[in-house]
Structures are given as C-alpha cells and as structure tokens.
Amino acid sequence: MTSEEHDGLQKSRRRMVIIRSISVLVILFFLQGGVAYGTLQLFLALPANWTGIIDDADIERDAHQGTVYMIDRAIASEPLKKPSDVLQELQPHFHFRLTYIEKPDHFSDEVQEQFKSYDLAYDDEDDHIYAKLQSGGYLKLGPLITTDINDANASAIFVLLALLTIVNAVLFFAILYFAFSTLWREARAIRLTANALGEGNLTARVPKIRSEPLKMIGHVINDMATRLELLVGHSRTMMHAMAHEFRTPLARLRFGLSMLEDSDPEEKKKLYAGIDKDIDELEQLIKISLDYFRMNNKNMPTKLENVHIKRWAENIIDDLSLLKPKGFEVSYNIANVDSSIDPKLAAMAFRNIILNAFKYARSKVYIHVYKQDDALIFEFDDDGPGVAESAREEIFSPFFRLDNDKSGSHEGYGVGLSFVRAIAELHHGSAFVLSSRLGGARFVMRFGL
C-alpha cells in the first residue's frame, strides 16, 4: 500500500468515525425525546397523593370561584336584563369568553359528576369552567389560559422536549466518551498491533492495557507475538546453521564427483567410500534438522507420565556409565519425588547434558534434582572451563560448537543443547547456563509443573 493510499484510507476512516458520531447523536436525540415525553406522561398519570400535585379541576375551581360569584351577583342585580346581555356588557373586562347556557344538555360526564359535589365544574378536555347560577341557568367560562404542559401548543412541547433531549444527549454522549475513550484507544492499539503482526513486524507489541475487558486480549496477543518471534527466530537460526553445515559435505561431494572421471580403480573406490560417507552425513544432518523443527513446535504433543524421578534419573546415569571417561566421577543428589514429565524427551535432554559434561569437564560432574515451588529443577555442575557469558545464550543455538572440547575431536553437530532447551520449553520451562561452584559450568533445566 502506497503512502497516498494509506493517507486516503485514514481520512476515510476519520470521516466514518464522524458520521457514526453524528448518527449516534441523532439517534440519542430521538430516543431521549421519546423517553422524556413518556416519563412526563407517566408522572402526570400518577395519583396526586404520590406526586403532591393538586388536580387541575381543584385548582381551576378554586381560582375562578370568586369570578363566578361576582358575575352571578351582577346578573342577579339586573333582573330586567337577559343574563346573556349582562355577560356581553362584562365581556370587555375578561380575557376569556363569557357564555350563558340555559340547559346543561351537552355537559360531559366528568362535568356532571363534579356538579354532584360542587357548584363549579372544570372540563379539562376543552379547558372551560361551568357554574350554576342563581337564575337557574349555567355560566360557561373559557377557554381558559392553561399552565398545563399537556395542554400547551405543539411548538411549546417540542421546544421543551428538544431542549431536554439536547442537554441529555450531549451529557450522555460526553459520559460515554469519557467512559469509553480509554477503551476505544486501547482497542485501536490492539488492532494496530494485530495489523503490524499480520504485515510481518514480529516486534510489535500491545502497549499496557488498563481496561479489564481488553487486558486479557492484549496479553494473549503479546504472548502469541513472542511465540511467533521465537519460532521465526529459531527457524532463521536453523536455516542459517543448516546452510553452513550442508556446505562442507556438499563441497566434498562435488570434489569427489569431479575426480571420478580421471581416477584409477583404486582411487575411485576411495572416492566412492568418501561419497557414501558424505551422503550419510547429509542424511544425518537432514534428520537432525527435522528433529529440531519438531522439537521447536510448541504444539507438539508431549506424552506426560507420572514418573518417580530418582529411579528414572539413576537408570539413565547407569546406562551412560559405559561412556564415562576413565577416572571421571559422577555424583548426584536426586530428590525422592514423583513428577509428571515425558520420560523419553526428558531422558534425551538429561543424557545430552551429561554427555556434554563427559566431553568438556575435566574430571567430575555433580547432578542435583529437586522440586521448588511449581517447578522440577535439574542442575548439572562440572569442573570444566565453563562457558563465557558472551556465549551462554548462543550455545543453545543449533550447530553451535564450543572450541574447548578437551578431546579435540569436535565430534557431533552441536544441536544437543538446542534439543535440551526445546524439550524444556515443551515442558513449559526453560534451560540456561551459569557458573558452577566446581569452577566450570552449571547447566540448569527447569520443567514447569
């Protein structure tokens, strides 16, 4: 992807974020409006003894009782005039209409019910006051100027709900932003790390995650990246080492084949023998390389068994006694414990370290095996020249050989310790080397339990 395409993609993503944010605000606007209106209606529907709000009918009756009384007195004081004429004379002094009704034929059920208890009745459907007059007729006042939000015009309700909704939506959005901004940034960091790993940057790691829902995901991705980096590193090391090790037998093969044509029968016989030896060496190198890749496959199944460690280790030491150099001392202190290990793989690692001691140590090796916390620890101390700090990591690389082999034979391919580390890692552990109290090296192999 070119830089222009990358910038265009970033701008497109920012536009989508803005559009989504505006969409969320609009949706919140309508949702909050609906919630506010529904809440208002529910509140008004509650009984007055719950809310403390006086019923509209009681308020209007009390508010207009004096007005009705004065109008009734005015009508009664002029018996020669029609009640409707008196009301017409009084009309300029009122902001609502005054109407005289002779018969209550069109009164609603609510008004008729109120007349059973009061001389005044309020109809909240049309905002009118109805009153019984001394003359026998009825007075109608209204429509009244209402203070009830439900009876206000639609624009007033819309303005109220709009203000309430905007304030709530902005506050809610701000709360959501501050509550989830950290979560959003951390989720974006995880995505960027995953993209970087997908593009081949195996050094990419998720930064420290604080949000609990994402913390585990960050740990999993970092662990996966570390395993991938180790696996790829091992593979690269192995490929370089293989290229180096294969070069020698291949060169000998090429030289031998070039000499065959001009050689006499006796020389050909020697050349064929050399070619067979080089082919055997190549086969052995291929087998060792395949074994190494198999060992470094962390998904390789281990056949764990409950093993009595003391008896198992002593059997291995006894089997190796025939290979022990003359005058070489092997001493040990092995805990009398049981542990769950793969006995065959563990035995391979155990033998490799002891055979290295036979090869490099001067006269002795001391083996200490014990349990500590959640691990089974193997320690091999020898009195050899030790391992320089600069080489303590490199010796676990495949095909690496130390130059201080006391025999001077340089036999082997230098993969034994790489197998040791791989086997330890298959047991959820590790392998490393330190300085020994005997003056040489201390190889430590740790198996997780």
Residue 224 CA to residue 231 CA, distance in Å, equals 10
Helices (H), 46-135: 48-51, 56-76, 83-90, 109-115
Confidence of residue 410 (pLDDT cuts 50, 70, 90): very low
Dihedral sign of CA atoms 419, 420, 421, 423 in order? positive
**Radius of gyration (C-alpha) of the chain in whole angstroms:** 48
Which of 86, 110, 108 has the alpha carbon at shortest distance from 99?
A: 86
Selection from 15-29, 136-150, 263-277, 325-339 with the highest mean pLDDT: 325-339
Inform me whether the pLDDT recorded for 444 exceeds 90: yes
Residue 349 CA to residue 425 CA, distance in Å, equals 11
pTM: 0.45
Q: Which are the contacts of 189, defined by CB distance < 8 A and separation ≥ 6?
A: 206, 207, 209
| pLDDT tens column, 155-177 | 666 676 677 777 777 777 777 77
Q: Which of 26-35, 230-239, 310-319, 371-380 has the lowest mean pLDDT?
A: 230-239
Determine contact, residues 443/423, Cβ cutoff 8 Å.
no
371 token code pair:
């349990």
- Per the DSSP assignment, residues forming a β-bridge with 131 are 120, 139
What pLDDT was estimated at residue 414? 59
